[in-house]
Amino acid sequence: MESKEPLSSPDPAAEARMTRRREWIFLGLVFGLTYLYDFIVLLPLSQSTATSGAEVALFYQLAVAVQMFFPALCVLLTRLLTKEGFAEHYLKPNLKGHWAIYALAWFGPLVLTIFGAVVWFLLRPDTFDPGMSYILSLSGDQPLPMPLWALLAVQFAEVLIAPALNAVACFGEEWGWRGYLVPKLNKGRKPLPMLLLSGVIWGLWHAPIIALGHNYGVGYPGWPWGGIAMMCVFTVMTGTLLAYVSLKTESVWPAVFAHGMINGCAALGMLFTRDGGDLFLGPAPTGIVGMIGFIFCAIVLVLLWKRTLTPKK
């Protein structure tokens, strides 16, 4: 009887090299396109906002939102350029058996943000203002469209559905970071280095808009490097939660919803201050005290990682 040759099996070393190659191609594309866009589009717009009206400022915010779609675009480009196809696309919701993870993704950032704000106000009770002078100052000379309590109720209702409201824009980022890069970085790396690496990458991707004043303003001591460094701390801590819920479900959607909630509820604590608080400290979660809930969450998830996630080879 003629013996059959065994079917050739994939070379693990070759697969690992191709994975790393795709990582570098994706990062080169997403950083190159984003930084070029920021230099050509956002920098001139940010300079115009100082001397122009509200319309230019609104256009600048919309231009910043456009940037959020670059990671998803670069996923498509990388897959096409490297002939990767769409295996492990992370686009299926995989709801079955993962309702608790989806609940964590939807409500967890809100709980952690409120926790950080409470800690801030306990440490700095002098900054707490139940009259919400900050939100009143934002309206300027214009009267509020409704009583303050009603405005706050509307704000909180919007926060509860923020994951859905922000889903489209956040998908643009998350399909790149948690739906493509993190699953690749997770292969052959231990959890802690992977989380630090992916978080810092995500933070550095924001560097140009941080330098333009996003989140931390401009002109502070150490500008812009202090803001960029703080953003990297923030993205490592929040990115740990986003990576966990995405890898646990093998789906990008929990990370999309968690990201949407983070964006939607970040300003809640600031509403109860006189001046918005300290951008580097709190009560917003982009400050080191305001993010303390996310710090605790990240530590717990790292400790639980081996027991709750199957390692990828």
DSSP 289: T
Closest by CA position to 183, among listed 266, 118, 109, 86: 86
Give the up-direction half-sphere exposure of residue 200: CA atoms within 13 A in the CB hemisphere. 8
Closest by CA position to 132, among listed 291, 283, 297, 305: 283
Q: What is the pLDDT of residue 306?
A: 82
User: What is the C-alpha separation between 137 and 141, in angstroms, rounded?
Assistant: 8
Closest by CA position to 295, among listed 247, 236, 227: 236
Q: What is the pLDDT of residue 188?
A: 86
Sign of the CA dihedral running 205, 209, 215, 218: positive
Contact 45, 63 (CB under 8 A): yes
Q: Which two tokens stand for residue 261?
A: 């909630």
Q: What is the pLDDT of residue 131?
A: 84
Q: Which two tokens stand for residue 25?
A: 């191609």
Q: What is the pLDDT of residue 147?
A: 78
User: What is the C-alpha separation between 120 and 277, in angstroms, rounded?
Assistant: 10
Tally of CB atoms within 10 A around 120: 27
DSSP 274: S
User: What is the C-alpha separation between 234 and 299, in angstroms, rounded?
Assistant: 14
Angle of helix 225-249 versus helix 292-308 axis, rounded to 10: 40
Q: What is the pLDDT of residue 149?
A: 77
Q: What is the pLDDT of residue 313?
A: 54
DSSP letters for 238-273: HHHHHHHHHHHHT-SHHHHHHHHHHHHHTTTGGGGS
Q: What is the pLDDT of residue 311?
A: 55
- 10-residue averages of pLDDT along the chain (313 residues): 50 89 98 98 85 72 95 98 92 96 98 98 95 77 74 90 97 98 94 97 98 94 97 98 98 98 96 92 97 98 86 55
Q: What is the pLDDT of residue 9?
A: 56
Q: Which two tokens stand for residue 2?
A: 């003629």
Conformation bin of residue 161: beta by default, left when phi > 0, alpha when psi is -120 to 50: alpha
Contact 132, 305 (CB under 8 A): no
* Interior angle at CA 128, CA 126 and CA 133, nearest 5: 115
Sign of the CA dihedral running 216, 220, 270, 239: positive
Taking CA atoms, 181 is separated from 59, 131, 218, in Å, by 30, 44, 31
For the entire predicted model, the pTM comes to 0.93
